[in-house]
Amino acid sequence: MKMQKRKLGNSGLEVSALGLGCMGMSFNFKPIPEKKDMIALLPQAIERGVTFFDTAEMYGPFTNEELLGEALAPFRSEVVIATKFGFKFEDGKPAGTDSRPEHIREVAEASLKRLKTDVIDLFYQHRVDPNVPIEDVAGTVKDLIEEGKVKHFGLSEAGAQTIRKAHAVQPVTALQSEYSLWWREPEKEVLPTLQELGIGFVPFSPLGKGFLTGKIDESTSFESNDPRNAAPRFSAEARKANQALVELLNIIAKNKNATPAQIALAWLLAQKPFIVPIPGTTKLHRLEENLGAVNVELTAKDLQGINNATSKMKLQSERYPEHLAKMFGR
């Protein structure tokens, strides 16, 4: 299997067509895997052609960056590491956004140490901070780029207007937001803006937090500490309504001799040449399955068929309870 490469917009930053989201290796979904197993998995991803790894100070917090720093140090010149700033922490827990310029600088220094590197390849603002003008954020990252501590600037879950304002100060290399067959909100405003400005798009949760793999149905029960319990789209009623999408993926997968997950990823790759999904996994067989998506060919007719079928579905895909939903796409 030969991994393809893609460029993130006009920036010239070239990465593997599929990256690896590393959050679950030390954060969020219990049980947290053994660190030694994850240190073994990361080089296996590189062996299979992955060159793009996604982390954040928030994941752990801090332990995920340390994990990547240790595992990727021997391969540092071959890989692109993306990390994120923009939260403050109290007692080891996130306590709201903080993108004040002095805080961004502190985070950059701390992330460089944890990642065992002298430059951050891609530095995202993790969430838009309503208390700090985006121009100040972009200006601070611009300074870090000029100082040689950061190579590229990214935004996460930002709306079109914020992207434009930031890009005018310091060109944005990539936007990271959720995008999948299940969550197509970015198609309205964000994707056209990225295309116009020459910005790459890095979809997280490209498999709908596991739903699009076909392994979750209305009878699935999650661990009590699983964050999916709080998501409207993972209620039993929503899972039942959304099963139609999984059935569609199953049908196409059989025809293409692929898996539903591979079809979901191939669909994303077929949307735009500047899209680089970052499915997360902690298992080698899942990593290999995901990477197999680059060899799945969806024709124009296939894509049209998927669009026609999904346009008739009444999907329940709200991601967050209402009070949290306000934080995104600002």
pLDDT of residue 167: 98
Q: What is the mean pLDDT of residues 5-32?
A: 95
Residue 1 confidence (pLDDT): 66
Q: Do 157 and 127 contact (CB within 8 A), yes or no?
A: yes
Instruction: Name the catalytic one among 59, 124, 179, 320.
Output: 59
| Block residue for tokens 């390849």 | 121
Segment 313-321 shows an average pLDDT of 88
- The closest alpha carbon to 14, from 45, 52, 49, belongs to 52
Q: What is the mean pLDDT of the chain?
A: 96
What average pLDDT score do residues 55-77 get? 98
> Residue with structure tokens 């599929």?
18
What is the DSSP-derived secondary structure letter of residue 176?
Answer: E
In whole angstroms, give the CA distance from residue 252 to residue 97.
42
Place of tokens 């460089």: 112
Strands 93-97 and 200-204: unpaired
> CA 86 to CA 79: how far, in whole Å?
24
Q: Which helix (H) or strand (E) holds 124?
A: strand 120-125
59 catalytic? Reply is yes
Decide: 164 and 196 in contact? Cβ < 8 Å: no
Which pLDDT value is given to residue 86?
98
Q: How confident is the model at residue 205 (pLDDT cuts 50, 70, 90)?
A: very high
pLDDT digits (tens, 9 = 90+) for 20-43: 999 999 998 788 999 999 999 999
pLDDT at 58: 96
Q: Is 5-325 a CATH 3.40.640.10 domain?
A: no
> How large a percentage of the chain has pLDDT more than 70?
99
pLDDT, residue 70, reads 98
Q: How confident is the model at residue 327 (pLDDT cuts 50, 70, 90)?
A: low
* 2 vs 124, residue with greater confidence: 124
Asked whether residue 71 carries a pLDDT value surpassing 90, the answer given is yes
Distance of CA 44 to the CA centre of its chain: 20
Average pLDDT over every residue of 41-70: 98
Please, are residues 56 and 313 in contact by the beta-carbon 8 Å criterion?
no
Q: What one-character DSSP code corresponds to residue 17?
A: S
Q: Cβ–Cβ contacts within 10 Å for residue 250, how many?
A: 14
CA pair distance 101, 140, nearest whole angstrom = 6
- Per-residue pLDDT tens digits for 90-148: 998 899 999 999 999 999 999 999 999 999 999 999 999 999 999 999 999 999 999 99
User: How large is the average pLDDT for residues 252-276?
Assistant: 98
Q: pLDDT tens-digit profile of 272-291?
A: 999 999 999 999 999 999 99
- Candidates 206, 222, 223; CA nearest to 289 is 206
The full set of domain ranges for the chain reads 5-325
Find the helix or strand (DSSP H, E) in which 252 lies: helix 236-256
Under the banding of pLDDT at 50, 70 and 90, the label for residue 330 is confident
| 139 φ/ψ angles, rounded to the nearest 5 degrees | -65, -40
Q: In which band, very low, low, confident or very high, does the pLDDT at 224 lie, cut at 50, 70 and 90?
A: confident
Tokens of 288: 């290999």
Q: What is the C-alpha R_g of the chain?
A: 19
Q: Are 275 and 212 in contact (CB under 8 A)?
A: no
Tokens of 225: 């500490």
* Least confident range of 37-41, 216-220, 293-297: 216-220
pLDDT of residue 249: 97
Give, in order, the Cα–Cα distances in Å from 13 to each of 144, 183, 210, 265.
Answer: 17, 26, 29, 21
Q: How far apart are CA 212 and CA 180, in angstroms?
A: 9
What contacts 137, CB < 8 A, 6 or more positions away? Answer: 99, 101, 104, 125, 129, 166
Name the phi and psi angles at 20, rounded to 5: -125, 120
Q: Which residue has the tokens 């309504």?
A: 241
